Structure 1
Amino acid sequence: MRITNRHGGTSAEPYGSRNLGGLCGDDPEAVAANRAKTAAEFGLDRTVFMRQVHSADVRYVTEPFGDDPPPLDGVFTDVPHLGLAALCADCAPVLLADPVAGLVGAAHSGRVGTVLGVVPALVEAMAGHGADPARMTALIGPMACGSCYEVPAGMRREVAEVLPEVWSITRDDTPALDLRAGITSQLARAGVRDVTHDTRCTIETPDLFSHRRDGRTGRFAGYVWLEA
């Protein structure tokens, strides 16, 4: 499991320089070069990228989708050296693995996807293919933190009705969401106890892309794969 940052690629500003997102306005050739470079550094044969739409839809995959990926926010596989990537710039990349079953998964979990339950959906789908949540390890990657993710009070109330753990306030005492706490609680209820956190806040970390901080910007990614 690996988390990329914004350095070491070929994209020009405001996407400088390792932008891996193909739908944010960057030069497609630069994005392709960045993806190829990252795959080579990780020793991956191929990588699956999704067309992320803030859903709870997940799918088993055995190969990349090509130039027209379907709308999904979670994928899993048992194919060695096939990378799974979740693109983010304030939402959470959530990576899962059951090495005994030989299954790994990746989810993109923002506010809407978290409310809809994309991470529990991925755990359930992997379990349907032989994984055991009690054996799974999870990495919740960088995201906008609960002290920075300011939202209207009504939105906080609506989300907390589904996931009470997300209720938060900013450092200025304004309404906020703590998606990390919400996702952690979802994993626990799904039976996943071995959870590691990359607690960096995207808004506060210049090495990571942040849409809330910068507006027009690129995407970093969480990667997971099976070794042979």
Structure 2
Amino acid sequence: MTGSMTDSSAMGIEVLTHPALAGTAHGFLGRKGGVSTGLHAGLNVGWGSEDDPAATAENRRRAGQAVLPGARLVCAYQVHSPDVVTVTTPWDEADRPKADALVTNRPGLLLGVLTADCAPVLFHDPHAGVIGAAHAGWRGAIDGVTDRTVEAMEALGASRAAIAAVVGPCIGQKSYEVDAGFERRFLEEAAENERFFRAGRAGHAWFDLAGYVAHRLHAFGVGVVGMLDEDTYAQADRFFSFRRATHAGEPGYGREISLIGLR
């Protein structure tokens, strides 16, 4: 399921939404509308980005207000793992657990995942009133972070056939060159993963991260899978990108945030 809608808040924040997640407050945000400057110019929300902490805090406040005003933003300390935390009450930023996905059935909590080329995935079971958010880089994706998120939602009463999941902006295949060792790891997991690689120069290939994540969701029985098809690397005016900053020799980079909450 493809397609998206774009909303612009009063603060100039671009909020990408998807009809599969209708009924939730949600948004895939980029870099537009923030107060950071320099390498982090725009809506940088990453505490670890060496940005001015006051600017980061204001950007996070603006992001929350653009999606679900008055809700408490909840984020994990992301470590490229398949680990999931079920959120019942919010925590202070200094106490956030190490994990790469969050689930809840509590209204008023705004689950957030940070990315800068990795794939954000937002989940919703409208019948059970359960939501989730996952950070799926290649390592978390192959280790099953989306599978574990669905299982954690099921523990709260969700049904995987009723879950809608949307893969948000991430690095596109045309921008994601990997080496033979990287490709081999995915082929050893399943020979069919060959379809997510396009041959490149000798010893290299181009990897379709979003396609692989969507495949994992379908294979695990998720009822509706959507994709936004937005390449973070290729759109410097709209998104932060770790790989683009690395290729440019820049000493730092910002992070964008994807959010979902129950009203």
Residue by residue over 1:142-173, the C-alpha shift from the partner in whole angstroms, topping out at 9 and shown as x without a partner, is: 11112221111111111232254363126768
**Cα distance between partner residues in 1 of 2:46 and 2:53:** 9
**Cα distance between partner residues in 2 of 1:142 and 1:105:** 17
Provide the residue aligned with 2:243 in structure 1: 212
Unpaired runs of 5+ in structure 1? none
Provide the residue aligned with 2:90 in structure 1: 64
**Cα distance between partner residues in 1 of 2:28 and 2:226:** 13
* Preserved contact between residue 214 and residue 227 of structure 2 (Cα < 8 Å): no
**Cα distance between partner residues in 1 of 2:257 and 2:218:** 24
Q: In the alignment, is residue 225 of structure 1 matched against residue 261 of structure 2?
A: yes
Q: Tell me how many residue pairs correspond in the alignment.
A: 227
- Specify the code of the residue in structure 1 equivalent to 2:257: A
**Cα distance between partner residues in 1 of 2:258 and 2:66:** 14
Q: Which range moves more in the overlay, 174-183 or 137-146?
A: 174-183
**Cα distance between partner residues in 2 of 1:6 and 1:119:** 25
**Cα distance between partner residues in 2 of 1:180 and 1:225:** 23
3-state DSSP of counterpart to 2:206: strand
Provide the residue aligned with 2:128 in structure 1: 101
* Preserved contact between residue 150 and residue 170 of structure 1 (Cα < 8 Å): no
Provide the residue aligned with 2:17 in structure 1: none
**Cα distance between partner residues in 2 of 1:222 and 1:162:** 28
Q: In the alignment, is residue 53 of structure 1 matched against residue 84 of structure 2?
A: no
Q: 1:194 aligns with which of 196, 202, 224?
A: 224
The structure 1 segments of at least 4 consecutive aligned residues displaced by more than 2 Å after TM superposition are: 62-65, 163-167, 169-174
- Specify the code of the residue in structure 2 equivalent to 1:32: A
Shift, 1:198, TM fit: 0.9
- Specify the code of the residue in structure 1 equivalent to 2:244: R
Task: Identify, as 1 or 2, the structure richer in helix.
Answer: 2
Q: Percent identity?
A: 36
Provide the residue aligned with 1:169 in structure 2: 198
Provide the residue aligned with 2:171 in structure 1: 144
What TM-score do the two structures reach when normalised by structure 1? 0.94
The alpha-carbon distance between structure 1 residues 27 and 63, as it changes in their structure 2 partners (threshold 3 A), is farther
Q: In the alignment, is residue 117 of structure 1 matched against residue 148 of structure 2?
A: no
**Cα distance between partner residues in 2 of 1:177 and 1:212:** 14
**Cα distance between partner residues in 1 of 2:88 and 2:187:** 36
Provide the residue aligned with 2:16 in structure 1: none
* Preserved contact between residue 98 and residue 136 of structure 1 (Cα < 8 Å): yes
What TM-score do the two structures reach when normalised by structure 2? 0.82
Provide the residue aligned with 1:180 in structure 2: 210
3-state DSSP of counterpart to 2:186: helix
* Preserved contact between residue 132 and residue 260 of structure 2 (Cα < 8 Å): yes
Unpaired runs of 5+ in structure 2? 1-25, 247-251
Provide the residue aligned with 1:18 in structure 2: 43
Shift, 1:208, TM fit: 0.5
Q: 1:90 aligns with which of 117, 121, 124?
A: 117
**Cα distance between partner residues in 2 of 1:143 and 1:171:** 20
* Preserved contact between residue 144 and residue 201 of structure 1 (Cα < 8 Å): yes
CA RMSD of aligned residues (A): 1.6
The alpha-carbon distance between structure 1 residues 212 and 122, as it changes in their structure 2 partners (threshold 3 A), is same
**Cα distance between partner residues in 2 of 1:112 and 1:44:** 34
